[in-house]
Chains A and B, each alone.
Chain A
Amino acid sequence: MTMKPAPFKYFTPASEEEVLALLTQHGYEAKLLAGGQSLIPTMNFRLAQPAVIIDLNRVSGLTYVRPGDSGGLCIGAMARQREGEYHPLFAERAPLIRETMPHVAHPQIRNRGTFGGSIAHADPAAELPAVMLALQARFKLRSREGEREIPAGDFFVGMFATAMQPEELLTEILIPPLPRRSGWAFKEVARRHGDYALAGAAAVVTLDEQERCREVRLVFLSVGDGPVEARQAVQELAGEIPGEEAIRAAAETAAAIDIDPGSDIHASAEFRRHLARVLAMQVLHQAFARARRA
């Protein structure tokens, strides 16, 4: 019935300033085009019919990956997802992202898809938003009015919804350095290799000198309207020595209390809860093991 997008106006700005001017002018009518891997299919299905497309692919200075302050990492919004696998800075400074990347779609899609696009799109089944939350990333947003920085925790506000204003552009993702004695892990269950997951979990943990939990973050994907932090489970672990019993109990709490998954044709809420419990145990187990070795 449809495979071609509805009519739209197309702009190819060369600089951030031009983008911001176009955004101010067209606001709600406009959509930014990054890798197009989510936007173009929805346009071809005519689920999205933006009147204006602002193509970011010719904007200079948005594709970088560079060291941030004191061991952190700065990622330009238009850096392709593929960099996450191969750019040495990821291995060095954000190994959790590197470990996650192969689960995001397929190589062809990661060649086009961008970090900014995935984060701005805020698909509740996407990996990167959950990982950003686990890493306490911060996002730089620019508009004609100025620039602001917003933590991942305040950015994702619901199903495909973010705290960005229509005239704002996401320009940079800042990944803070991990403290000493930290560990991380990511796992997901997907029907086929490269599919959006039925459920997934990311964990970032830090131990103190006595091997007790100093900080734990456990974030799920595909079990809610966005990335879901397991707050209650994490509290149970605070200050504890994370043995198998404690991990098991935390995973129980996470699956039973912290999440409220929905049902769809691929997985019932009950199955998702079960998977979340399994994954929580696996990622906590692995993250603590890494932290102990660190």
Chain B
Amino acid sequence: MGTTYIGQPVLRNEDERLLTGQALFTDDVHLPGMLHVAFVRGEHAHGRILKVDASAARSRPGVIAVFTAEDLGSYWQPGPLLVPPPPIERLTFHQRTQVPLAKDKLRHYGEAVAAIVAESRYLAEDAIADVIVEVDPLDAVVDMEKALEPGAPLIHEGLSSNLAAHVIQEKGDYHSVFPGADVVIKKRLLYDRGTAAAMENRGVVAQWDAAGQQLTVWDTTQAPIPIRNGLARMLGLSESQVRVVAPFIGGGFGPKIMMFYPEEVLIPWIAMQLKRPVKWIEDRWENFFATTQERGQIHEAEIALTADGHILGVKDVFVHDTGAYDPYGLTVPINSQCTLLGPYNVPNYYSEFKAVFTNKPIVTPYRGAGRQHGVFVMERLLDFAAKELNIDRAEIRRRNYLSPGDFPHNHQIIYQDFAPLVYDSGNYAPALDKAMEMIGYEKFITEEQPRLRAEGKQAGIGIVSYVEGTGIGPYEGARVTVEASGKVCLATGVGTQGQGHFTAFAQVVAEQLGVEVKDVRVVTGDTREFNWGTGTFASRGAVVAGNACHAAARMVRNKILKLAGEILQASEEELILEGGRVYLRNAPQKAITLGDLAARANPLRGAVKPGSEPGLEATAYFGPERGCTASGVHALILEVDPLTMMVEIQRYVVVHDCGRVINPMILEGQIQGGVAQGIGNAFYEQLVFAPNGQLLNASFMDYLLPTASEVPNIENAHIETPSPLNPLGVKGAGEAGAIPTGALFAQAIENALREYDLEICEIPLSPNRLFDLLGERVKQNIEISISHE
């Protein structure tokens, strides 16, 4: 069968609703009698709570109730461990999860202490100042290396140190490499990340229908089904009594997969206690503390190579800051550990990390989820090696690529999905060639750069590679139904936060059922519509849910052809399913529409054949044996103003391989958005914590997100190396744009400022940081610039 829709830039089904304001977001839910919650949040990063007195708040007019940890009784429980540590030998892991309301101790700034419920959000906020929270402040643990020093303040009593985890993974024997090594390079590298800053903050609305004994919860979660299951368990309800809806969501990026957030535990409970609907919408300020973030790692890394630039081995020892709690287990540092290996053949690898608790907001995956850190370390090591060995930067990468014959390639360490890190497929050199051609790598270096330099312009070029583990299990499901209207309904359990699911999934189904993409109505993120699933994370929607849609559509296709064959008295080989109808290849006038078939499959009288099911409907599940590995090359040309240290990006090229492309337009949108976040990470965004653990830039005035003026248009190209692990041959693409940007940026800045012999070993950068790195030499630029005028 030729493809009709897969691979086409089909316009998005959901855009009309989004652009005309018809899409329901959590804050759009208005219910009669609804109450509003504001939280009292701790104003110390570390301290012992001596007293919480809410009596004045409770008597303020308009306030319905105030809940503190004491008021929750046995409902007060630390949250679940969302991801247990993978089965790695000699692994240490200390589980400490967040609590619904702080009881005895504050462990990061902004932890919720009390929930105020009032007739309006205004009134609830008025009452915040009424609540007296007495705290005995303790020294805060902010520096992740000092956190492990003896005598550091203890964040979790009951542990002997602030160590959250210790993991060693090894492949081959790193120490065996030294006899053959011509060069060994050792660096200390620092990579810090920020907050996802989704356009929509979090929010929860809950309604308890006492007569119907039904709880409905609207939640900005990326994982509605697990939230439903957990809430039912905590509240002592049957899963069938709880409906969780994740409506349209203004961006997820990972932090919204975290569960359970304290507010998700509390709002439904409060609705049941008070028997009135309750709404809480996170404000931007809260989002900087109460929503999870990513954060710093410090790597002591070493690479050994031969004189011709072949990697013999890599050793990396790092510290990972996990924040005040570790509910998401080890996903982020394990991703760093595994993604470091990149598209390269690394015969010997020693990787060790310590995760540490600090008095900062919780760390969980945010787009890229630790992969950035690993890619930064490896790409920087290769850059330093290229310089030392006098090999071109692109060339040293090419020499170390795994070749197409090396797949499946087993890296012999354990990945975040608990399975060995095995790359399913890949073909790296063509992406490198394509990127070099698109950005004009050779010409820039030999012609343009010298010309620009002669004009006093510090322009630089960068080129880096990376891989992205995507599409991990366990499973997702889908149900496809052809309705009597001839239109198709597709339900799946994953939530959607702007990824274009309403279109990409519809394309997969439309392809099988011979209908138009707009005639496939996609329902996602509503537990009443689909009962099983895990969620939208790890670039897995298209891979796992997409293949479930494909499987269900195949089954329905078979039902359609079988029934049509019976009605048209033809064998299935003689039938064509196309344009919403089935007809005979040799006699197209003999036809029946899908609508008629659906009606015939679900008769009101008469009998359905024994052994058959009514309707044209099927449910299917897909669970890959392991994740599939996407890859890519990013290239960049930028210019640094030698006087002000401002950086302007001139061109940005992405050549990307995520297997078979379902919708190139949606894919390009994903890449563009990811690169924007990558640029923010590289040069604009940084969470600045004071020594007392206070976040100094908790607003968009001081936390600088790149805007349309700072982000260039990305030039895209695709290489398609289909994954053998799923029938569609797709790999994930959600995080690709964001992963290598820091490494790329550092390389291009070094190249632009070549004569300064800079070594950039850290991200994020800023004009001020560049000024500090260049020191006195910047000031001399003033002389240079005058002579150019």
How far is A274 from B38 in the complex, measured between Cα atoms in Å?
45
- Residues A278 and B644 in contact, CB atoms below 8 Å apart: yes
Interface string of B78-113 (1 = CB under 8 A from A): 000000000000000000000000000000001000
- Residues B710 and A1 in contact, CB atoms below 8 Å apart: no
- Residues A265 and B39 in contact, CB atoms below 8 Å apart: no
B410 close to chain A: CB less than 8 A: no
- Residues A193 and B710 in contact, CB atoms below 8 Å apart: yes
**CB of A285 to closest CB in B, whole Å:** 8
A207 close to chain B: CB less than 8 A: no
- Residues B128 and A1 in contact, CB atoms below 8 Å apart: yes
- Residues A191 and B38 in contact, CB atoms below 8 Å apart: no
Q: List B679-733 residues whose CB lies under 8 Å from chain A.
A: 684, 688, 696-697, 699, 702, 704, 706-707, 709-710
- Residues B768 and A46 in contact, CB atoms below 8 Å apart: no
Q: In the complex, what residue of chain A is closest to B683 when comparing beta carbons?
A: A191
**CB of A97 to closest CB in B, whole Å:** 22
- Residues A2 and B644 in contact, CB atoms below 8 Å apart: no
A195 close to chain B: CB less than 8 A: yes
**CB of A96 to closest CB in B, whole Å:** 21
Q: In the complex, what residue of chain A is closest to B281 when comparing beta carbons?
A: A3
Contacts of A82 in B (CB 8 A): none
**CB of B312 to closest CB in A, whole Å:** 42
Given contacts A2-B125, A266-B702, A281-B782, contact A192 B285 (CB under 8 A): no
Contacts of B121 in A (CB 8 A): 3-4
- Residues A274 and B126 in contact, CB atoms below 8 Å apart: no
Interface string of A187-225 (1 = CB under 8 A from B): 001011111001000000000000000000000000000
B646 close to chain A: CB less than 8 A: yes
B767 close to chain A: CB less than 8 A: yes
B434 close to chain A: CB less than 8 A: no
Q: List B746-789 residues whose CB lies under 8 Å from chain A.
A: 766-768, 771-772, 778-779, 782, 786, 789
Pick the contact of A271 from B684, B696, B771 — CB < 8 Å? Answer: B771
A277 close to chain B: CB less than 8 A: yes
Interface string of A88-128 (1 = CB under 8 A from B): 00000000000000000000000000000000000000000
How far is A182 from B394 in the complex, measured between Cα atoms in Å?
54
Q: In the complex, what residue of chain A is closest to B645 when comparing beta carbons?
A: A271
**CB of A124 to closest CB in B, whole Å:** 14
B134 close to chain A: CB less than 8 A: no
- Residues B126 and A7 in contact, CB atoms below 8 Å apart: yes
Interface string of A219-256 (1 = CB under 8 A from B): 00000000000000000000000001000100000000
Given contacts A193-B707, A278-B643, contact A3 B786 (CB under 8 A): no
Interface size on A, residues (CB 8 A): 30
**CB of B474 to closest CB in A, whole Å:** 37
- Residues A6 and B126 in contact, CB atoms below 8 Å apart: yes
Contacts of A267 in B (CB 8 A): 767-768
B284 close to chain A: CB less than 8 A: yes
B41 close to chain A: CB less than 8 A: yes
A25 close to chain B: CB less than 8 A: no
- Residues B767 and A278 in contact, CB atoms below 8 Å apart: no
Contacts of A5 in B (CB 8 A): 122
- Residues A2 and B696 in contact, CB atoms below 8 Å apart: no
Given contacts A4-B121, A4-B125, A268-B768, contact A194 B709 (CB under 8 A): yes
How far is A102 from B779 in the complex, measured between Cα atoms in Å?
28
**CB of B348 to closest CB in A, whole Å:** 42
- Residues B283 and A192 in contact, CB atoms below 8 Å apart: no
How far is A277 from B779 in the complex, measured between Cα atoms in Å?
10
Contacts of A194 in B (CB 8 A): 707, 709
A275 close to chain B: CB less than 8 A: yes
Contacts of A192 in B (CB 8 A): 684, 704, 706-707, 709-710
**CB of B680 to closest CB in A, whole Å:** 10
Contacts of A189 in B (CB 8 A): 644, 646, 767
Contacts of A46 in B (CB 8 A): 125
Contacts of B766 in A (CB 8 A): 191, 266
Contacts of A2 in B (CB 8 A): 38, 125, 128, 283, 285
Main secondary structure on chain A at its contact with chain B?
A: loop
A45 close to chain B: CB less than 8 A: yes
**CB of A265 to closest CB in B, whole Å:** 5
- Residues B707 and A244 in contact, CB atoms below 8 Å apart: no
How far is A101 from B8 in the complex, measured between Cα atoms in Å?
45
B529 close to chain A: CB less than 8 A: no
Contacts of A1 in B (CB 8 A): 38-41, 110, 125, 128, 283, 285-286
Pick the contact of A274 from B128, B646, B696, B778 — CB < 8 Å? Answer: B778
Q: In the complex, what residue of chain B is closest to A252 when comparing beta carbons?
A: B782
- Residues B786 and A244 in contact, CB atoms below 8 Å apart: yes
**CB of A151 to closest CB in B, whole Å:** 31
Contacts of A3 in B (CB 8 A): 121, 125, 283-285
Contacts of B283 in A (CB 8 A): 1-3
How far is A198 from B286 in the complex, measured between Cα atoms in Å?
27
Given contacts A2-B38, A2-B285, contact A191 B684 (CB under 8 A): yes
How far is A195 from B789 in the complex, measured between Cα atoms in Å?
28
Interface string of B639-650 (1 = CB under 8 A from A): 000011010000
**CB of A116 to closest CB in B, whole Å:** 22
Contacts of B789 in A (CB 8 A): 285
**CB of B172 to closest CB in A, whole Å:** 44
**CB of A268 to closest CB in B, whole Å:** 6
Q: List A160-195 residues whose CB lies under 8 Å from chain B.
A: 189, 191-195
Interface string of A248-289 (1 = CB under 8 A from B): 100000000000000001111011001101100100010000
Going nearest first, the 8 A-B pairs with the smallest beta carbon separation are A193-B709, A3-B283, A4-B122, A278-B643, A265-B688, A2-B125, A271-B768, A189-B644
| Further contacts, 14 of them, CB under 8 A, given A4-B121, A191-B684, A271-B767 | A1-B286, A5-B122, A7-B122, A192-B710, A193-B707, A195-B704, A265-B688, A265-B697, A271-B771, A274-B778, A274-B779, A275-B644, A281-B786, A285-B789
29 contacts between A and B (CB under 8 A): A1-B38, A2-B38, A2-B128, A4-B121, A4-B122, A4-B125, A7-B122, A189-B644, A191-B684, A191-B766, A191-B767, A192-B704, A192-B706, A192-B707, A193-B710, A194-B707, A194-B709, A248-B782, A265-B696, A267-B767, A268-B768, A271-B768, A271-B772, A274-B778, A275-B644, A278-B643, A278-B644, A281-B786, A285-B789
A residues with CB within 8 A of B: 1-7, 45-46, 189, 191-195, 198, 244, 248, 265-268, 270-271, 274-275, 277-278, 281, 285
